[in-house]
Amino acid sequence: MNTERIKKLFQNRVFRVVSVCLLAFLLLLAVWKVFFPQKSDDAATAYEPTATEERLARLLGEIEGVESATVMIGEEDGAAKSAVVIVRGDLGLVTRSRVIDATANALQIERRNVLVYPADN
């Protein structure tokens, strides 16, 4: 008796259309979750700069053309190996060169190991 009810239900055109639409929506939702995951700011805000990074960022903020700077130092065995500097302000050729020089000298690393990028304004 139940199987005949189920057969009759699936023979109903409205039920089939609603079922197909519901399945298509669920499939679309699954594809959205897999290929377009929600961006979380937790990873970006979870990083806490070290005292050295904060000091260097304040130092770089004193350079003409630099409004503010964010620094991340790459270390190996406790020694600085590289640095990434995000600069807000006028990042012309001279300013960029000054930022690279100041960072390389402060950390005692080679200029080529300092990467400078403009900040989102």
pLDDT at 2: 80
Residue 20 pLDDT more than 80? yes
> What's the full length of the chain, in residues?
121
Over the range 72-100, which residues count as b (16 or more CB within 10 Å of their CB) and which as e?
Answer: bbeeeeeebebbebbbebebeeebbebbb
pLDDT at 12: 83
Q: What is the mean pLDDT of residues 23-46?
A: 78
pLDDT at 68: 94
Q: Are 83 and 114 within 8 A, CB to CB? A: yes
Q: Are 92 and 76 within 8 A, CB to CB? A: no
Crossing angle for the helix pair 2-11 and 13-35, to the nearest 10 degrees: 80
Pick the residue with more confidence: 12 or 98? 98
**pLDDT, tens digit (0-9, with 9 covering 90-100), for 54-98:** 999 999 999 999 999 999 999 999 899 999 999 999 889 999 999
* Percent of the chain's residues with pLDDT above 90: 62
The pLDDT-based confidence of 16 (bands split at 50, 70, 90) is confident
Amino acid in position 37: P
Looking at beta carbons, which pairs linking 6-10 to residues 24 or more positions away fall under 8 Å?
Answer: none
**pLDDT, tens digit (0-9, with 9 covering 90-100), for 93-108:** 999 999 999 999 999 9
Q: What is the DSSP string of 28-69?
A: HHHHHHHHSPPP-THHHHH----HHHHHHHHHHTTSTTEEEE
Mean pLDDT, the chain, rounded, equals 89
pLDDT at 59: 95
